[in-house]
Amino acid sequence: MNCDQRITIRDAAASDRDWIEDFINKRWGSNRVVSAGVMHDVPQLPGFIAWRSGARVGLLTYQTVEKEFEIVTLESVEEKVGIGSAMISKAVDLARKSRCKRVWLITTNDNMPAIAFLSKKRFSPCRHSPKCAGNITPIKTRNSQNRSIWNPPTG
C-alpha cells in the first residue's frame, strides 16, 4: 500500500487531454470557459496536473498574452491539503521565469472559499468587471459581479 501523500506537479501533456476533458466536464459542466470575453477550450490550454499517490488530483490551466499570465482554471479533488497551493506556486514560478508582468484570474464575488484561498496566496482584488458578470463559463452563470484577482510576480 502506497502511503505517499506528497503532491507533485507536472506539465499537462497531449496524452492528458481525455482526462482533462472529463475532469473539467464533471466539475464545470463544459470543457469551454469564458474569461474576460475570450472563449477557451480547456483541454487545449497549457497547464499543470497535480499528482498524489499515483493519481491525478488537480488541474491548473493558463494562457500568457503580452507578458500577462492568466490562470484560466484551477480545480482540485480535495481542498485544504496543498493541491491548489502547489499548482499556484508552479504557475507563479513559470510566470517569473517567463518575465510576465502579472499573474491574474477571474472569480465570482460570492466564491468566498476561492477569495480566501487567493488572499492567503497574496493575490488581491484589482477591479470589478461588471461586463463579465455571469461569463465565467456557459454553465456556471451567476447574477453576481466578477472580480479580477492578480498577483504581480516579485523577485
Instruction: List pLDDT tens digits, range 8-50.
Output: 999 999 999 999 999 999 998 899 988 888 899 999 999 999 9
Average pLDDT, the chain: 81
pLDDT classification of 54: cutoffs 50, 70, 90: very high
Separation of alpha carbons 56 and 72, rounded Å: 19
Separation between Cα atoms, residue 92 and residue 114, nearest integer Å:
17
Task: Confirm whether 2 is domain-assigned.
Answer: no
By CB neighbour count within 10 A (0-12 exposed, 13-18 middle, 19+ buried), where does 54 fall? exposed
- Which range is least confidently modeled, 37-41, 76-80, 125-129? 125-129
Residue 129: band (very low, low, confident or very high) from pLDDT cuts 50, 70, 90: low
Residue reference for cell 482533462: 20
Q: Which residues pair with 70 in a beta bridge?
A: 63, 104
Q: How confident is the model at residue 125, as a pLDDT?
A: 77
Mean pLDDT value of segment 67-96:
94
Q: Does 66 score more than 90 pLDDT?
A: yes
- Does the pTM surpass 0.85? The reply is no
Does residue 74 lie within any of the structural domains? yes
CATH code of residue 82: 3.40.630.30
User: Residue 87 is part of which domain span?
Assistant: 7-151
Q: Give 126-139 as a DSSP string.
A: EEE-GGGTT-S-SS
Residue 21 is assigned to a structural domain of this protein: yes
137 pLDDT band (50/70/90 cuts)? Answer: very low
What's the rounded Cα separation, in Å, for the pair 56 and 41? 20
User: Per the domain annotation, does 105 fall within a domain?
Assistant: yes
In a domain, 75, yes or no: yes
> Worst-scoring range by mean pLDDT, 75-89, 91-105, 136-150?
136-150
Instruction: Give 91-103 pLDDT, tens digit per residue.
Output: 999 999 999 998 9
| Strands annotated E in 3-152 | 7-11, 32-35, 38-41, 47-52, 55-65, 68-76, 102-108, 124-128, 146-151
State the total domains in the chain: 1
Per cent of the chain over pLDDT 90 is 55
